[in-house]
Amino acid sequence: MTRDIIDVQYPVLDHTESVANISITEKTVTQANGITIRDAFSNKNNSLFIVIKTTTSGGSLLTVKAGDAYPNSMLGDIVIELPEGVSAIQLQDLSRFQKSDESIDLDFATGFTGSIYAIAKWAGVRPVQA
C-alpha cells in the first residue's frame, strides 16, 4: 500500500510571542491508501493532535497502527470510533505508535469519507539574542 503523506502543522508566534496562529491545510483521505503523518513525533512534547472530519453517515473507524521503534509497540494497533463530524485525537502512549522514522500510520475503515490534518505546538529552545 502506498500511503498518502501529511505533515504536522505548527503555529507561528507573532512578534510579541504572546499569540500563536496557524493556518490549517486539510488533506482529503483516500480510504484505500491510509495516511502517514510524517515527523509526527519530532516535536517531543506530547502536543500532537490529529483532527479528522468524518463525513461518513453514522461515523466510521480509525486504526492507529503499532510502530516499530519501541518495545511497547507489541501492544498492537488500536481502533478508535470516529463519530460523524470533527474528532480531535491526542495519543497518550506515543511510543506505542512511533515508527523508527518518527512517523505514524493510520488506516480508515472501508467506506470512510472525510479529511485530516495534524497540528502540534513547536518545542525547542530559541537562540539567545545578543
Helix (H) or strand (E) holding 34: none
pTM of the model: 0.86
Domain that holds residue 108: 4-9+27-119
CATH number at residue 86: 2.60.120
Could you read off the pLDDT of 21-68 as tens digits, one per residue? 888 999 999 999 999 999 888 776 778 899 999 999 999 999 999 999
**Structural domain count of the chain:** 1
- Would residue 66 count as lying in a domain? yes
Answer whether residue 18 is part of any domain: no
Residue 16 has pLDDT above 80, yes or no: no
How far does Cα 105 stand from its chain's mean position?
Answer: 9
Question: Is 45 within the bounds of a domain?
Answer: yes
> Cβ(96)–Cβ(69) under 8 Å?
no
CA distance 102 to 29: 21
